[in-house]
Amino acid sequence: MTQHPGAGLAAPTLDQARRQIARYGLTADPQAILVATRLMAAGARIGQAGEVHFGRFGLSTGRYRLLADLEDHGGEKSPSQLAASLGVSRATVTGLVDGLVREGLVARRPSTEDGRGNVVILTARGADKLRDLAPEHFARMEALVGGLSPEERTTFLDLLGRVVQGMDALTDN
Protein backbone atom coordinates (compact mmCIF):
# COMPACT_ATOMS: atom_id res chain seq x y z
CA MET A 1 0.00 0.00 0.00
CA THR A 2 1.32 3.42 -0.86
CA GLN A 3 0.26 6.86 0.16
CA HIS A 4 -1.56 8.79 -2.56
CA PRO A 5 -0.13 12.33 -2.65
CA GLY A 6 -2.37 14.69 -0.74
CA ALA A 7 -4.92 12.01 0.12
CA GLY A 8 -3.73 11.24 3.65
CA LEU A 9 -5.01 7.73 3.09
CA ALA A 10 -3.30 4.43 2.37
CA ALA A 11 -4.59 3.31 -1.01
CA PRO A 12 -3.77 0.61 -3.52
CA THR A 13 -1.73 1.56 -6.53
CA LEU A 14 -2.47 0.96 -10.18
CA ASP A 15 0.20 -1.77 -10.19
CA GLN A 16 -1.51 -3.51 -7.26
CA ALA A 17 -4.83 -3.41 -9.10
CA ARG A 18 -3.17 -4.89 -12.20
CA ARG A 19 -1.59 -7.69 -10.15
CA GLN A 20 -4.87 -8.55 -8.41
CA ILE A 21 -6.77 -8.64 -11.69
CA ALA A 22 -4.09 -10.82 -13.28
CA ARG A 23 -4.02 -13.14 -10.22
CA TYR A 24 -7.67 -13.99 -10.84
CA GLY A 25 -7.33 -14.17 -14.62
CA LEU A 26 -9.75 -11.31 -15.19
CA THR A 27 -9.90 -8.65 -17.90
CA ALA A 28 -11.19 -5.78 -15.73
CA ASP A 29 -9.85 -2.27 -16.29
CA PRO A 30 -7.25 -1.71 -13.53
CA GLN A 31 -7.83 2.04 -13.51
CA ALA A 32 -11.59 1.56 -13.03
CA ILE A 33 -10.91 -0.83 -10.14
CA LEU A 34 -8.45 1.64 -8.61
CA VAL A 35 -10.91 4.56 -8.88
CA ALA A 36 -13.74 2.51 -7.35
CA THR A 37 -11.51 1.22 -4.52
CA ARG A 38 -10.22 4.67 -3.65
CA LEU A 39 -13.71 6.17 -3.84
CA MET A 40 -15.04 3.56 -1.42
CA ALA A 41 -12.13 4.15 0.96
CA ALA A 42 -12.59 7.92 0.77
CA GLY A 43 -16.33 7.54 1.40
CA ALA A 44 -15.65 5.50 4.52
CA ARG A 45 -13.13 8.07 5.78
CA ILE A 46 -15.48 10.98 5.09
CA GLY A 47 -18.25 9.11 6.89
CA GLN A 48 -16.01 8.68 9.94
CA ALA A 49 -14.96 12.33 9.82
CA GLY A 50 -18.61 13.35 9.55
CA GLU A 51 -19.41 11.48 12.75
CA VAL A 52 -16.58 13.31 14.55
CA HIS A 53 -17.78 16.61 13.09
CA PHE A 54 -21.42 16.19 14.14
CA GLY A 55 -20.35 14.74 17.47
CA ARG A 56 -19.03 18.22 18.35
CA PHE A 57 -22.66 19.31 18.38
CA GLY A 58 -24.04 16.28 20.21
CA LEU A 59 -25.42 14.79 17.00
CA SER A 60 -24.67 12.00 14.58
CA THR A 61 -24.70 12.40 10.82
CA GLY A 62 -28.08 10.66 10.67
CA ARG A 63 -29.60 12.84 13.38
CA TYR A 64 -28.32 16.00 11.68
CA ARG A 65 -29.66 14.89 8.30
CA LEU A 66 -33.08 14.20 9.82
CA LEU A 67 -33.22 17.63 11.50
CA ALA A 68 -32.06 19.39 8.33
CA ASP A 69 -34.59 17.46 6.22
CA LEU A 70 -37.39 18.49 8.55
CA GLU A 71 -36.26 22.10 8.42
CA ASP A 72 -36.08 22.01 4.62
CA HIS A 73 -39.67 20.72 4.44
CA GLY A 74 -41.52 23.11 6.69
CA GLY A 75 -40.61 21.37 9.94
CA GLU A 76 -42.97 18.40 9.56
CA LYS A 77 -42.86 15.01 7.86
CA SER A 78 -44.15 11.50 8.36
CA PRO A 79 -41.66 8.81 9.37
CA SER A 80 -42.10 7.08 6.00
CA GLN A 81 -41.37 10.35 4.17
CA LEU A 82 -38.25 10.82 6.30
CA ALA A 83 -37.10 7.26 5.59
CA ALA A 84 -37.54 7.80 1.85
CA SER A 85 -35.78 11.16 1.71
CA LEU A 86 -32.89 9.99 3.92
CA GLY A 87 -32.54 6.66 2.13
CA VAL A 88 -32.87 4.61 5.32
CA SER A 89 -35.38 2.18 6.80
CA ARG A 90 -38.40 3.14 8.88
CA ALA A 91 -36.73 1.35 11.82
CA THR A 92 -33.68 3.61 11.46
CA VAL A 93 -35.90 6.69 11.41
CA THR A 94 -37.70 5.45 14.53
CA GLY A 95 -34.38 5.11 16.36
CA LEU A 96 -33.20 8.54 15.25
CA VAL A 97 -36.52 10.16 16.17
CA ASP A 98 -36.62 8.46 19.58
CA GLY A 99 -33.27 10.00 20.51
CA LEU A 100 -34.18 13.41 19.14
CA VAL A 101 -37.50 13.35 21.03
CA ARG A 102 -35.64 12.60 24.29
CA GLU A 103 -33.50 15.69 23.68
CA GLY A 104 -36.48 17.86 22.77
CA LEU A 105 -35.21 18.52 19.24
CA VAL A 106 -38.24 16.95 17.56
CA ALA A 107 -41.70 15.86 18.70
CA ARG A 108 -44.31 13.44 17.46
CA ARG A 109 -47.94 14.35 16.99
CA PRO A 110 -50.91 12.68 15.32
CA SER A 111 -51.18 13.30 11.61
CA THR A 112 -53.99 15.61 10.57
CA GLU A 113 -54.18 13.72 7.24
CA ASP A 114 -54.16 10.22 8.69
CA GLY A 115 -55.46 9.95 12.24
CA ARG A 116 -53.79 6.56 12.63
CA GLY A 117 -50.28 7.82 11.88
CA ASN A 118 -47.89 10.30 13.41
CA VAL A 119 -45.77 13.06 12.00
CA VAL A 120 -42.42 14.24 13.27
CA ILE A 121 -42.09 17.97 13.85
CA LEU A 122 -39.01 20.09 14.37
CA THR A 123 -39.23 21.86 17.72
CA ALA A 124 -38.00 25.37 18.44
CA ARG A 125 -35.10 23.77 20.30
CA GLY A 126 -34.26 21.69 17.21
CA ALA A 127 -34.39 24.75 14.96
CA ASP A 128 -32.16 26.63 17.42
CA LYS A 129 -29.68 23.73 17.37
CA LEU A 130 -29.44 23.89 13.58
CA ARG A 131 -29.06 27.68 13.65
CA ASP A 132 -26.36 27.49 16.36
CA LEU A 133 -24.25 24.90 14.54
CA ALA A 134 -24.65 26.42 11.06
CA PRO A 135 -21.68 28.85 11.08
CA GLU A 136 -19.12 26.23 12.11
CA HIS A 137 -20.75 23.45 10.10
CA PHE A 138 -20.80 25.37 6.83
CA ALA A 139 -17.27 26.73 7.37
CA ARG A 140 -15.98 23.18 7.85
CA MET A 141 -17.94 21.87 4.85
CA GLU A 142 -16.47 24.63 2.71
CA ALA A 143 -12.98 23.81 4.02
CA LEU A 144 -13.49 20.14 3.12
CA VAL A 145 -13.55 21.06 -0.57
CA GLY A 146 -11.45 24.21 -0.22
CA GLY A 147 -8.64 22.70 -2.29
CA LEU A 148 -10.89 22.60 -5.34
CA SER A 149 -11.57 25.55 -7.60
CA PRO A 150 -15.20 26.40 -8.46
CA GLU A 151 -14.67 24.80 -11.87
CA GLU A 152 -13.25 21.64 -10.28
CA ARG A 153 -16.20 21.47 -7.88
CA THR A 154 -18.59 21.70 -10.85
CA THR A 155 -16.73 18.87 -12.59
CA PHE A 156 -16.62 16.87 -9.36
CA LEU A 157 -20.38 17.21 -8.88
CA ASP A 158 -20.96 15.97 -12.43
CA LEU A 159 -18.59 13.04 -11.99
CA LEU A 160 -19.99 12.17 -8.57
CA GLY A 161 -23.52 12.18 -9.96
CA ARG A 162 -22.49 9.73 -12.66
CA VAL A 163 -20.76 7.47 -10.13
CA VAL A 164 -23.86 7.50 -7.91
CA GLN A 165 -25.94 6.44 -10.92
CA GLY A 166 -23.71 3.35 -11.17
CA MET A 167 -24.01 2.43 -7.48
CA ASP A 168 -26.65 -0.19 -8.16
CA ALA A 169 -23.87 -2.29 -9.69
CA LEU A 170 -22.75 -3.02 -6.12
CA THR A 171 -26.18 -3.96 -4.77
CA ASP A 172 -28.17 -5.49 -7.64
CA ASN A 173 -28.49 -9.27 -7.70
For the residues 61-86, what does the mean pLDDT come to? 97
Q: Cα separation of 111 and 78, whole Å?
A: 8
**Residues 87, 81: Cα–Cα separation, whole Å:** 10
b (16+ CB within 10 A) / e for 116-131: eeebbebbeebeebbe
| Alpha carbons 117 and 110: distance in angstroms, whole number | 6
Query: What digits encode the pLDDT tens for the residues 84-113?
Result: 999 999 999 999 999 999 999 999 999 887
- At 3, is the pLDDT very low, low, confident or very high (cuts 50, 70, 90)? very low
